Chain A
Amino acid sequence: MEQSSINEAERLVINSFLTPSKPIRVDLYKLQKDQNNYSCVGVVGAHIILKENETTLYDDIYSDSIFTLNYFPVAGAAYSIEVSYEDLASAKATTNIPKAIRCTGEFTYGKYWDIRSFLIKLNDFIVPPDNRASLWITAYQETDDGETVQYNEIYINNVFIDKTNSYGGMGTVNDIAGSIYYESFLRIKNTNIHKMDELIFTPVKVCYFEEEFLLNQEKIKVKLITAGPEYDQYSKNLYEQKNRIIHEEDISSVFYQPCPVYCNIENGLGLFAGMNEVDYYFDYPVKTE
């Protein structure tokens, strides 16, 4: 670049995922400029106004950069936040907590040792009405003592899954799940949720490092994330941004394009987004011979 006009204003960064399964937490930072360098530092002593359906939940100065409130967001409610700090412009955002999408689940397999025969079937989806949310699905290996490792390849043969994170596998995992896998998550956009009657997939964990092997797996956990529009756009954009990195100036560069990440903070940066999570557990096959 021979000519540059980068001159970003100093402003607040607000980060929060609001979900009924966790108490409210908001991370606060300040983007500051020191000569030509920008950095983010935690903000202590900001004035925070947090409302639920116009009812004030908090209105005071907070003495930490990580704001926590022992209060669980409510599905279907609207939340707003306004943060003021020193002479920076007040940063504001609003979001809604979507009601959870639910389903029934079933786990089948062939031989207990044959992970390629594992099939998780989700069906009978219950989608709350007037819902602009999308559905994200992740799956995990879990032990009884809470150790968790995420499945990083989910094989599925279904036309309703967003192709953003899809890859062609080197072969078919099984006749039902096919040979196309999705990196770590499945995303079904809002308009496709209503068309979908069932999802059948095979989760696979590919270990890149030895320490990733999870011994004594007891459960498979499947998480359904009902993603409000803000959460959905942010996560999709961030995935795209992280995956469109040019591989050291090879020919893949011809596909590169700048990829901004969604932000809903007025006068600031970050995200204030509602979501809802439901977990489904399936017992891991036990050794039978």
Chain B
Amino acid sequence: MNEVVFSARRKNIDSRGLGNMRINMEQLKISPLFLGERDIIKTLQFLPGVSAGMEGSSQLNIRGGTNDQTLYLLDDVPVYNQSHTFGLFSIFNTDAIKSVDLYKGGIPTQYGDKLSGVVSVALKDGDFKQYHNSLSLGLLAGTFASEGPIIRDHLSYVFTGRRSFVDLLYKGFTTISGGQSGAMIAFYDINAKMTWKMNSANLLSWQLYSGYDDIYGMNTGRDRIRNERYFEKFGYGWKTFMTALRYSGNLTSSLQFIANLYHTSLTNFNRVTGKFIAPDIEYKKENVESSLMNEMGGKIAFEQKTGTNNSFFYGMEGANQIFVPDCVYKRENSSEILYNSGQLRLFKLSAYLYDEYRYKHWFASLGLRASLYDNWKKKKISVEPRVKINTFLGEKNKLMLAYDRMHQPIHTVYEMNYNFQADYWVPFQEEILPSANQASVGWKNFTNSNLSFSIEAYYKTMKNLLLIKNQENYIDFHTDYETGKGKSMGFECLLEYSRERFTGWISYTLSKSDRRFEDRTYPFKYDATHSFSTFVSYKLIHNEKTTHTFSLNSQANTGYPYYVPEISYPGLGLPTLSNAYPGNSNIYSVDYIPQYPNVRIRNFFRLDANYTLERPCKKGTLSWQFSLLNFTNRKNPYAIYKKDDKYKAFVLIPLFPSVAVKRFF
């Protein structure tokens, strides 16, 4: 009997519905490279309606929202940081991922607590039958991944570990050379998952994510004659942690459920450590200032099929969050001090339901989510209706409509920060619970099996947004902030084409986003009228022995609004004499920076070129990836500042070559 082969077009981005896109691992293999790595967040940044913010970031600013308005889920568990090394990499290791869903609109009611969008990353279960391993080495980091059965057909594991190695080389070099000063970055992350297939219908899994980042300066020295050594390290960092237990199963043939219990946390720290060793003296110091966030929670979700055309979804989730904004640990030799300024807390409890109904060529999803948010001073109840309606016009055109209401009980506290800063979360204060309403429409065309084309338009309003003028007073006294509104509207196009060796997509967004505070309307900090990105990939050689793929990716957008010191005026100086500040003589001049963006920075453009060679080995495969980042060497500003009465721009990513090698076995 001849084997029957069904072939279907492999799409890079699966546009599943209005505002919802899915990328799975097969699709991720044909996606833009960044420093020789494929990164899920970097790939999502190519999609319409999604802004990366400043270059090199791992942010997703969705449809006029900020990154803290995007819900990041790892196997349905929220994570409150998604960046490694200023955002050059995301925390999501592609070796551990099964698929990623992005929701910009039409957000199902099981998702909440954020205003603008959802990124739901599903970790893969380990293979229950075979072992797979891989080892990769990039420009900054190395990754090891392994999966396979622990008990064949019953219990499997996935483990991935990633670590920067430049810092290790540097540390070794300083040890050998006897003393150096310099700045360095270090990070690691591990993903682990064990899955127990209890029977054909029930799975129990445990997952863990632990990530660490450290951006530091270091001074070391050695005096061989006096036999003295010193070491000092100072810098910033953060730790991201998540662990969860998840059960999914069928209670009856028509009723499925998923339950999980989890713990997730984020710690930011600013640390100085030092050691001095001499023949008669050993001195150690440590000074750590940190902010902590801990969340313990649980969820239970049901899906009940009540007919061939109807499914009913309902569930509950609850979590307790504890925030410690200011924690200090000091150690001078054996003397230790630990202090924190107190806790902020938030308890949240949500229940939701929605019904998906199909009738002929119509599809409707009506849902409601209700939440209680308690910050232990005030309680707020939110009710969020969500509606999605789709219909086919003929067989090749689909029309879609959605309405979403969202509320957000926690937020980060940086307003003017564009660049790297670890997220610092606090719960809502007083009666102010930010909310958003979004209406969106879309059209999708299926005329050609190799080509898909979709257009979406949205209109979103946000209220009770915060403009924090003084972070310390906001935390200590609940003063020095303004509440305001936001508005965002846009038009998004996505065109995908793939045929044989060629794959490509083009995305374009026309949008306008603004904020209104104190009776003044101004553009949102990542407002870009035009945003355009393309990706093309072509397999130059593709046979049993080798595959050579060349790809180009580019991004362009209107320059973002920015705050620059536009004028200077006489000041009153600092509580000191001017001779105390040899480096800052001009303390009697104040650079005036308005509360609102006053310029737009240069339009952004970057073109990256990548070449991948892949060949099968005796066991597994070997691939080499060569990249040229910012191929045109365009000077895209990362920060703009004023120095010596001149405006200057700092460029993070110049023309930058990189290479990565990966071995599957």
Contacts and interface: CB of A to CB of B under 8 A. Distances in A.
Given A150-B579, A256-B639, A179 B592 contact: no
B559 A3 contact: yes
Contacts of A185: 574-576
Given A150-B580, A246-B643, A257-B418, A171 B230 contact: yes
A238 B571 contact: yes
Contacts of B183: 250-252
Q: Of A1, A31, A163, A209, which is in contact with the most chain B CB atoms at under 10 Å from its CB?
A: A1
Contact of B569 (A189, A227, A250, A270): A270
B576 A138 contact: yes
Interface string A252-284: 111111111110000001110100000000000
Contacts of B362: none
B328 A159 contact: yes
B7 interface: no
B646 to A, nearest CB: 12
Contact of B572 (A15, A209, A249): A15
Contacts of B594: 8, 260
Nearest to B333: A175
A209 B419 contact: no
B584 A242 contact: yes
A233 interface: yes
Interface string B327-338: 010101101010
Contact of A168 (B232, B328, B341, B599): B232
B579 A212 contact: yes
A29 B588 CA distance: 14
A184 B569 contact: no
A6 B339 CA distance: 45
Nearest to A164: B472
B587 interface: yes
Contact of B472 (A15, A152, A184, A189): A189
Interface size of A as a range: 35 or more
Interface string A202-243: 000000110010000000000001010100011100110111
B420 A254 contact: yes
Interface stretch (B36-44, B97-105, B282-290, B381-389): B282-290
Contact of B419 (A4, A16, A168, A254): A254
Interface stretch (B305-313, B401-409, B560-568): B560-568
B587 A238 contact: yes
Given A31-B567, A168-B272, A255 B419 contact: yes
B417 interface: yes
A238 B574 contact: yes
Interface in B97-126: none
B166 interface: no
Given A163-B270, A184-B581, A191-B476, A255 B283 contact: no
Nearest to A260: B593
Contacts of A15: 570-572
Contact of B590 (A38, A163, A261): A261
Given A2-B601, A172-B332, A180-B272, A254 B593 contact: no
Contacts of A31: 567, 569
A8 B599 CA distance: 12
A41 to B, nearest CB: 10
Interface string A86-112: 000000000000000000000000000
Contacts of B648: 246, 249
A235 B571 CA distance: 10
B647 A171 contact: no
B466 to A, nearest CB: 16
B276 interface: yes
B289 A235 contact: no
Nearest to B650: A253
B225 interface: no
A52 interface: no
Contact of B591 (A27, A261, A262): A261
B598 A256 contact: no
Interface in B624-665: 638-641, 643, 647-648, 650-652
Interface string B535-572: 00000000000000000000000010011111111111
A77 interface: no
Contacts of B565: 258
B330 A257 contact: no
Nearest to A161: B328
B476 A189 contact: yes
B464 to A, nearest CB: 23
A171 B86 contact: no
B1 interface: no
Interface in B341-386: 341
A76 interface: no
B602 interface: yes
Contacts of A157: 330, 332, 335, 337
Contacts of A234: 572
Given A242-B587, A255-B419, A261-B591, A8 B567 contact: yes
B27 interface: no
A225 B647 CA distance: 35
A199 interface: no
B600 interface: yes
Contacts of A238: 571, 573-574, 587, 590
Interface in A19-56: 27, 29, 31, 38, 40
B639 A253 contact: yes
B599 A1 contact: yes
A235 B574 contact: yes
Contacts of A229: 473
B559 A159 contact: no
Contact of A258 (B416, B580, B581): B416
A286 B575 CA distance: 29
A180 B421 CA distance: 23
A170 B571 CA distance: 33
A31 B569 CA distance: 8
Contacts of B599: 1, 3-6
Contact of B570 (A13, A178, A179): A13
A245 interface: yes
Contacts of B341: 191-192
Interface string B10-38: 00000000000000000000000000000
Interface string A177-200: 011100111000111100000000
B279 interface: no
Contacts of B270: 163
Nearest to A239: B574
B447 interface: no
Interface string B177-206: 000000100000000000000000000000
Contacts of A225: 575
A159 B337 contact: yes
A253 B234 contact: no
Contacts of A192: 341
Contacts of A243: 584
Contact of B575 (A2, A13, A136): A136
A254 B581 CA distance: 24
A152 B571 CA distance: 21
Given A2-B603, A159-B330, A185-B575, A38 B567 contact: yes
Contacts of B333: 175
9 contacts: A1-B600, A13-B570, A136-B575, A138-B575, A159-B339, A178-B285, A180-B285, A253-B638, A260-B594
Q: Which 10 A-B pairs have the closest CB atoms?
A: A253-B650, A168-B272, A258-B563, A159-B339, A150-B580, A260-B593, A3-B600, A159-B328, A184-B580, A38-B567
Interface of B: 86, 183, 215, 219, 230, 232, 234, 236, 270, 272, 274, 276, 283, 285, 287, 289, 328, 330, 332-333, 335, 337, 339, 341, 414, 416-421, 470, 472-473, 476-477, 559, 562-577, 579-582, 584, 586-587, 590-595, 598-603, 638-641, 643, 647-648, 650-652
Given A159-B328, A238-B573, A252-B183, 7 more contacts: A4-B598, A5-B598, A138-B576, A148-B577, A241-B590, A255-B420, A257-B414
